[in-house]
Each structure stands twice: as C-alpha cells, then as structure tokens.
C-alpha cells in the first residue's frame, strides 16, 4: 500500500459515516486522482445485503467513484470550485461491473477528468481490488452554486 497524500477529505466533501466511501487519497495530479476505500467487515450494509454471503452493493462501489470525482474537482487547482458550491452527480453512463467485492477488501479508484463544459465535469473511474478490475464507470458531476 502506498502512503496517502495529506488531504483532509472531510474538509472537502460533505459526506460522513456511514456514507463516506473514500478513506484516503494516494495520488493526485491535474485531472487525475487515485483514492482507496477499505471495506470494513462490520459495514452497515452487510447486515441486509445478501446475509451470509456479504457483498458490497454495486451502487456503493459507484458512490466511492463519485466521491473520488468530487474530491478531484475540489483539489484540482485549475478546476477549483467556487466558495459555497458543491459537485453534484448529474449523469451515470456505461457502468460495467467485473467482479464482486466483499468485506476486508480495499477498493482502489482511479478517476480522471475527461472534459469540462461549463459547470459540468465529465469523468471516468476505474476501480480495482486485489489487482483485479471491479468497475469502470463514466459519470458527470456539475458544480452547483449555493450548496445543497
């Protein structure tokens, strides 16, 4: 595991436990970020999602990518978000799941900014675990003024 970059995730995005699915930022450069999320065995969703055969819901794997995208928007200097504005998911496209994720795994997310059109940021995320592809998804976040 790489050493994380010193980025205060909670100061950047509004998500909190139990709905925060990024634990650390591993890499960041203009237009690209790599994050990790350690899937804890005692996570709340395992109690009701396939009891006895714990499986991370696909929508939460996607959410990890979207949170990484919001972090990228906020941290990328050339893509700074105005004071009081927040990135909000506006489109999901071409989500392709490759394998299941269970308790104790670490999801690694590489998110890239593909294009910026006004307030919209078009992004692609690739998630892996244990060196294997988990998800590839394209999505759009729009930076909205005035918060939520």
Q: So which residues are the catalytic ones?
A: 49
Residue 147 — pLDDT band, cuts 50, 70, 90? low
Residue-level length of the chain: 148
Digit-coded pLDDT (tens) for 19-39: 999 999 999 999 999 999 999
* Residue range 9-144, CATH number: 3.10.129.10
Q: Average of pLDDT values for 91-102?
A: 97
pTM here is: 0.92
* Helix residue ranges per DSSP H, the chain: 9-12, 58-75
């Amino acid at each position: 595991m790489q050493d994380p970059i010193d980025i205060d995730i909670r100061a950047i995005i509004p998500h909190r436990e139990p709905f925060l699915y990024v634990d650390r930022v591993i890499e960041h450069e203009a237009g690209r970020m790599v994050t990790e999320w350690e899937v804890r065995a005692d996570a709340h969703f395992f109690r009701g999602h396939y009891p006895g055969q714990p499986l991370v819901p696909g929508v939460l794997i996607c959410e990890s990518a979207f949170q990484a995208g919001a972090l990228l928007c906020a941290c990328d200097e050339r893509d700074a978000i105005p004071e009081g504005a927040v990135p909000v998911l506006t489109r999901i496209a071409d989500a392709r799941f490759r394998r299941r994720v269970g308790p104790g795994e670490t999801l690694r997310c590489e998110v890239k900014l593909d294009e910026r059109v006004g307030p919209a940021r078009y992004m692609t995320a690739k998630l892996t675990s244990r060196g294997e592809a988990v998800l590839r998804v394209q999505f759009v976040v729009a930076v909205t003024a005035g918060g939520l």
